[in-house]
Amino acid sequence: MGNDNFQINVMDVAPSADELTDYDRAHFRTYLRLLDAEADKASWQEAVSVILGFHPEEDEECARRAYDTHLARAHWMAKKGHIGLLRP
């Protein structure tokens, strides 16, 4: 996993709404990167640090929550949320 040298602003907790949000649209690439990291069997610590910018060594609970909620949202996007991207 490489760092693309760009900054993203992520919330501590990803959205959980049943509809696509502006946050989802802005973080679509982030979700894809999380799914790729999961498929590559990257550790959650590496993924949260490289992709989301959280540092588990500083605050493991916050980093884990950010990772878990963003990965769950990534799975939701892959199953349902992407349909909202196709609508005008």
Contact indicator for 10, 53 with CB cutoff of 8 Å: yes
Q: Which region, left, alpha or beta, applies to residue 71 given φ > 0 means left and ψ of -120 to 50 means alpha?
A: alpha
Query: Residues 12-58: pLDDT tens digits?
Result: 999 999 999 999 989 999 999 999 999 999 999 999 999 999 999 99
Query: Residues 71-88: pLDDT tens digits?
Result: 999 999 999 877 766 666
Confidence class for position 8, pLDDT limits 50, 70, 90: low
User: What is the structure's pLDDT at 87?
Assistant: 66
